[in-house]
Amino acid sequence: MTGRNDVVRTYSELILLPTLEERFEYLKLDGKVGEELFGYARYLNQVFYHGERWKDAKSEVILRDGGYDLGVRGWKIIGNIYVHHMNPVTLEQLKADDPCLYDPENLISCSFKTHQAITYGSKALIPQPLIIRRPNDTCPWKKEDPA
């Protein structure tokens, strides 16, 4: 399922997707981010993210997700944990202090790279599994015979 701006995304649907890649596909914004972010009213965005109500909601979501990227076990977030609104925030919602801004059903924990990937719609930015190295695997003339 591909994320689109005209679809309401929910945590209940998101957690049914087992992999980080599937959850990314559900959430990505399809490169629709070049639009102006609130223009002169950007200060409202900053006021919101520094408010106690947001900080409480953010802590609740981080605890629920266990510090895992998009809530996927095995993808522990190293460093800062971002809490992403699964549905883009509008200026009207900020002005009205809309309850959906704090609703855990609209929020998910993610790493900085994953947040950037969702925002810019670039799958290349999401974390990749670690490559398990084996002796001589980067030296073609020394590879072990698998037989």
pLDDT band of 3, cuts 50, 70, 90: very low
pLDDT tens column, 41-91 = 778 888 899 999 999 999 999 999 999 999 999 999 999 999 999 998 888
Number of domain units in the chain: 1
User: How many Å apart are CA 42 and CA 36, to the nearest integer?
Assistant: 10
Q: Is residue 31 part of a domain?
A: yes
- Is a pLDDT exceeding 80 seen at residue 132? no
**pTM summary value:** 0.78
- Burial 58-68, CB ≥16 within 10 A → b, else e: beebbeebeeb
Q: Is residue 118 part of a domain?
A: yes
Q: Is residue 46 part of a domain?
A: yes
Q: Is residue 5 part of a domain?
A: no
Q: What are phi and psi for residue 78, nearest 5 degrees? A: -100, 125
Domain range enclosing 82: 11-142
Q: Is residue 147 part of a domain?
A: no
Q: Is residue 4 part of a domain?
A: no
User: How many Å apart are CA 54 and CA 47, to the nearest integer?
Assistant: 10
Q: Is residue 2 part of a domain?
A: no
Residue in the structure block whose two tokens are 């460093």: 79
